[in-house]
Structure 1
Amino acid sequence: MKKLSILLLVLVIAVVGCSKGNEQKSQEVKGEIEVPQTINANKTVSIEVLVTQGNKKIKNADAVQIQVEKEGYINQEMIDAKHQGNGAYSTDYTFKDDGEYTITAHVTIKGDMKMFTKKVTVCKKE
């Protein structure tokens, strides 16, 4: 009888542990980088990051920083993005040259940092 009780207890703990893991996975932090469709060199644009966790918009991230790197170059500079409301964080940026760029958003929530990237093309100013 004791062995049966212990076995049932272990099974209950295993089932509860597995269900919590699935719940946390669906609540993963996500970041979507938004920029204008057309970006011209030497023109300031707004880079926005929408930060969500499940269906909830994150309004209190520890930090949201933007890193912009031109293809073939390394840029260590991080620009702080300010919270604009409804989980949106943004900053203004001027792309100095035309070419391919990678925008990386570094989002820190409760000490856990996630990175999200988007590639964009900057055109010469017409």
Structure 2
Amino acid sequence: MKKLFGVALISLFVLGGCSQEKEEAPELIEVKFKTIPETIKVNKEVELVATVTQGTEKVEDADEVTFEIWKEGQTKDQHKKIEAKHAKNGEYKATYVFKETGKYYVISHTTARGMHNMPKNEVIVK
């Protein structure tokens, strides 16, 4: 009786394992950063653009896109954060004026579809 119960239990696990479908993981979100204009001049307004995609699909429903900006050598408490607004075609934009020449870093903090991506880019202000 115990053997029969053991065989039945093992059969149940084996059959149950075979019937489960494998769940595919969703593609990761990708974030590409650019500035308009590409050449940044001091004290001139520039548009910061993050283009968010997942596979070949443009992400129009990001929960949050924020640009974190700082000049090389600045401490964490000197970083500025600017919220981007959704435009179209997966683009999220914000405007900014760089007050000094030099090398800056921009992190595009992006949360969409249960994922977070935060690429860091370098820009030169002339």
Same fold (TM over 0.5): yes
Q: Which residue does 2:105 correspond to in 1?
A: 102
CA deviation string 1:29-86 (max 9, x = no partner)? 1110011331111111111000111111111111111111100013343111111111
- Count of residue correspondences: 116
Q: Which residue does 1:114 correspond to in 2?
A: 117
Distance 1:98 1:76, change over 3 A: closer
Q: Which residue does 1:56 correspond to in 2?
A: 57
Structure 1 unmatched runs, 5+? none
RMSD, aligned CA: 2.1
Please tell me whether Structure 1 or Structure 2 has the larger radius of gyration of its CA atoms: 2
Q: Which residue does 1:16 correspond to in 2?
A: 22
Amino acid corresponding to residue 16 of structure 1 in structure 2: K
Structure 2 unmatched runs, 5+? 1-6
TM-score normalised by L of structure 1: 0.79
CA distance in 2, matches of 1:88, 1:54: 15
Q: Which residue does 2:48 correspond to in 1?
A: 47
Task: Give % identity.
Answer: 31
CA distance in 1, matches of 2:103, 2:18: 53
Give 1:11 deviation, angstroms: 5.2
* SS of 1:16 mapped into structure 2: coil
